[in-house]
Amino acid sequence: MEKTRKSNKRLQTAKELSRVVADYYKECGAAKADGRPVGWMPPMNGAIEIFYAMDLQPVFPENWSPVCAAFGLTPDNFDVSEGMGYSRDLCGYLRNIIGYVNGPINDPSFPLGSLPAPDIILSPGGGCIPVMKIFHALERRFPEAKVLTSDLPQVAVEDIQEHHIKYAVEQINRLVAFLTEVTGRKLDMNRLSEVVQLSDRACALWDEIMTYRRFIPAPFSAAEMGIMFVMVTRQGTRIAVDFLEKVLAEIKERAANGIGVIENEKIRLFWDNIPLWYNMGVFNYFEKMDGVVVAETYSAAWSLRLDTSNPIRALALKSLMSYPLVSCVSIKKRREMVLKACRDYHIDGVVLHRNKSCVPITLGQMNIKKELEETLGIPSVIIDADHMDDRNFSTAQFQTRIDAFMETLHAKKQSLAMKIP
């Protein structure tokens, strides 16, 4: 197995994803010429719907990092940021994007046309520290951009109360007022309502797609996780809905016809934490041992349905919940989510990616591991890696651990089968 590798995809619609990705970045590049101001923002909040509703162009630097990883461009970006004094111990998203904006951003040969410079920056107070620091560095790099510092205290999902929602609603209203002031555009509430309905439709489709993971054999695996791209960049648009409808139709058909990812699926796995963006091929590694990575934590952040009758409140709630759901803000909720997924999807074993680039997701994993064993009797294995920096990933160590883990899972399954009369 190579250190960096793309995954083998089975879904025809997932293969269409490259067009969807290219179209999005083409649209970003054309935005200024088309008269649409460009705003850089963190993902997983309600700003995207506001942007699409106001016909502004949202750009997600965090999401650009996996794109750079897929093209093998992160090492050069790391060189730039590390040369500036950023420690190798910092999150890979941070080092990549700071390296990129201070390095090759204006290189015309950069894949997908590179990113357009921001007219607007939404700088988060809230979320994780690396993302907050990324945006501080972006403010420094693009001093001409208009900046809004958002303020969204991190509260565990199970502790959200009315005053949290009220505060988040005030923040959404503040964002709208700011965008109106700096772009001269007004938010049409009917248009926002349409956008939120599309966003909720995408979430509903996403949820439905995820339910097909309970089928044995699994009609698709974590290797196809790239479909999440539309949930990050296209929420609130017809593009996301159309794409996900196609994905759903294909998955339904595969499930109905018993078509799995591999012919002889014996072991079903769950992946916790962000994938290795430079080596999505690791998901295929399990297949030679009849294993399929059926589900993963990261996809859960996009399963938040929106109350379309109250768009602003719905976006406030989405903004409050997305980050805590997948991080250490709400370890309890995350643990429940992982356990539920393991039950629903008939999981045999869990791979816990101890991710040097993401401490908020890594913290709490050991409690999840313990609970999996004690409550569900599901074994798990820890692999040490990094979602962005392949220097923190050892192929040999990964293979050794996974080979041994898969052997254990096969043996366990065999012994269970022998006990059944």
Partner 1 sequence: MAVSVTSPFVQALNTHAETLTSLVEEGRKAMGYFCHYTPVELIHASGLIPVRISGGPGDVEMAYNLAPDFICPYMKRGLEKALAGNYRFLSGLVQGYTCDIACGMANIWADNIDGDLFHILPLPYEDTEESRRYLQIEYRNLIDKLSDLGGNFSDSSLEASLDIYARIRTHILEFYQKQFEGKLPLSSSELWQVIQAGFVSVPETYLDMLEELQAELISLPVPDPTGVPVLISGSLIESPNILDFLESRGGRIVADDLCSGMRSASTTSRSSSDPIERLADLHFNRFPCPSRSRAEDRLPLIQQLIEKSGARGVVFIFQKFCTPHLSDYPFLSDQLKADGIPSVMIELDESWQADAQMGTRLEGLFEIIEG
Q: Which residues sit at the interface with partner 1, rule CB under 8 A?
A: 84-87, 89-91, 94, 125-126, 128-130, 133, 136-137, 139-140, 149, 151, 153-156, 161, 163-164, 166-167, 170, 327-332, 354, 356, 359-360, 362-367
Q: Which is nearer to partner 1, 155 or 225 (CB)?
A: 155
Considering the complex, what minimum distance in angstroms separates the CB of residue 135 from partner 1? 9
Considering the complex, what minimum distance in angstroms separates the CB of residue 184 from partner 1? 24
Distance CA 276, CA 272 (A): 11
Q: Which is nearer to partner 1, 23 or 151 (CB)?
A: 151
Distance CA 74, CA 50 (A): 31
Considering the complex, what minimum distance in angstroms separates the CB of residue 29 from partner 1? 29
Check residue 275 and report its DSSP letter: -
Q: Provide the token pair at 119.
A: 């007219």
Asked if 56 and 185 touch (Cβ cutoff 8 Å), the reply is: yes
Q: Which is nearer to partner 1, 155 or 231 (CB)?
A: 155
Considering the complex, what minimum distance in angstroms separates the CB of residue 402 from partner 1? 19
Q: Which is nearer to partner 1, 151 or 403 (CB)?
A: 151
| Dihedral (Cα; 26, 28, 33, 39), 10-degree rounding | 180
Considering the complex, what minimum distance in angstroms separates the CB of residue 397 from partner 1? 15
Q: Which is nearer to partner 1, 112 or 132 (CB)?
A: 132
Distance CA 91, CA 86 (A): 10
For residue 152, which amino acid is it? L
Considering the complex, what minimum distance in angstroms separates the CB of residue 367 from partner 1? 5
Distance CA 70, CA 34 (A): 29
For residue 11, which amino acid is it? L
Residues 6 or more apart in contact with residue 155 via CB below 8 angstroms: 164, 320, 324, 329
Check residue 87 and report its DSSP letter: -
Q: Which is nearer to partner 1, 13 or 322 (CB)?
A: 322
Q: Specify the pairing of strand 38-40 against strand 57-59.
A: parallel
Q: Which is nearer to partner 1, 110 or 167 (CB)?
A: 167
Q: Which is nearer to partner 1, 201 or 353 (CB)?
A: 353
Q: Provide the token pair at 390.
A: 């392949």
Picking from 74, 81, 39, 77, the residue whose alpha carbon sits closest to that of residue 60 is: 39
DSSP for 278-324, please give it.
TBTTHHHHGGGGTEEEEEESGGGGG-----TTSHHHHHHHHHHHHHH
Q: Which is nearer to partner 1, 208 or 384 (CB)?
A: 384
Report helix, strand and coil shares of the chain as percent, to nearest 5: 60, 10, 30
Burial group, residue 35, by CB count within 10 angstroms (0-12, 13-18, 19+): exposed
Considering the complex, what minimum distance in angstroms separates the CB of residue 111 from partner 1? 27
Residues 6 or more apart in contact with residue 406 via CB below 8 angstroms: 267, 286, 289, 291, 349
Considering the complex, what minimum distance in angstroms separates the CB of residue 100 from partner 1? 15
Q: Which is nearer to partner 1, 129 or 416 (CB)?
A: 129
Considering the complex, what minimum distance in angstroms separates the CB of residue 175 from partner 1? 13
Considering the complex, what minimum distance in angstroms separates the CB of residue 359 from partner 1? 6
